[in-house]
Amino acid sequence: MSTINSFTLYREYYDLITLLSDKEQANVLLAIAKYMFDDEEIKLSGKENKVFVNLKRPLEKSKNKSKNANKNKSNQNQNEIKSKSNEDTHLNVYVNVNDNVYVKDIFSFIENNFNRTLSPIEYEEISNWEDTELTRYAIKQSVLNGVCNIKYISRILDSYKQKNIKTVQDAQKDEENFKNKKQNKITTKPEWVDKEIEEETATEEEIEKLRQRMKR
């Protein structure tokens, strides 16, 4: 079992988790707590698993940092710790939330979410982006869609520019409009579909002419 009593939860983790539904958020948060405090990895699926996998590496670093900090305190009086723990046990377990959205530069942010190191070509591409909330939102969307690709994110950002989307709220509204159009799309049928076929009856004169032709 893990020996840590606390870990750091950055705002960027929170922003990624809140892209999920309420039920998915609850599952991911439980998985994080189990992983950090009990060294137990819960089996997740779909978007839940994608988010957890991308948070796993920075969470592991936070866990190791906390363990090392605990080792450095080993010289403290154990009796003092025990007596104090009876008074405020609940204070030993807390999560430190960092409200700074940009705790890391955008390159580190992408590497943490992609769970890999960026190539020099990717660094060059990313250096042309503005490090904004909207850019990071596009990165998170690519991760949730299972496409950890810089070119894919560039296409999203280009689309934002073409549509004059400047905020995350604008992007979310555009996504909602797209979903609604897709759901309400009506396929126009050609005029001949479902139209009754009218039978044409030949006249006596036409029948007689046909007989004469057949005799010839």
Give 142-195 pLDDT, tens digit per residue. Answer: 988 888 899 999 999 999 999 999 999 999 999 888 888 877 665 555 554 555
Q: With pLDDT > 90 as the criterion, what percentage of the chain qualifies?
A: 17
Boundaries of domain holding 148: 106-182
- Note whether residue 163 is domain-resident: yes
In a shared domain, residues 121 and 172: yes
Mean pLDDT of the chain: 76
- Note whether residue 81 is domain-resident: no
CB 36 within 8 A of CB 4: yes
- Note whether residue 87 is domain-resident: no
Give mean pLDDT, residues 82-109.
52
- Quick one: pLDDT at residue 164? 94
Q: Which residues contact 58 (CB under 8 A, 6 or more apart)?
A: 10, 13, 112
Q: Give how many domains the chain has, as a whole number.
A: 2
In a shared domain, residues 111 and 66: no
- Note whether residue 20 is domain-resident: yes
Give the C-alpha separation, 57 to 109, whole Å.
Answer: 12
Q: How far is CA 35 from CA 2, 4, 98, in A?
A: 9, 11, 20
In a shared domain, residues 64 and 119: no
Task: State the CATH number of the domain containing residue 135.
Answer: 1.10.10
- Note whether residue 198 is domain-resident: no
pLDDT at 215 over 80: no
Give 36-75 pLDDT, tens digit per residue. Answer: 888 888 888 888 888 888 787 778 877 777 766 666 655 5
In a shared domain, residues 67 and 129: no
In a shared domain, residues 117 and 174: yes
- Note whether residue 145 is domain-resident: yes
- Note whether residue 191 is domain-resident: no
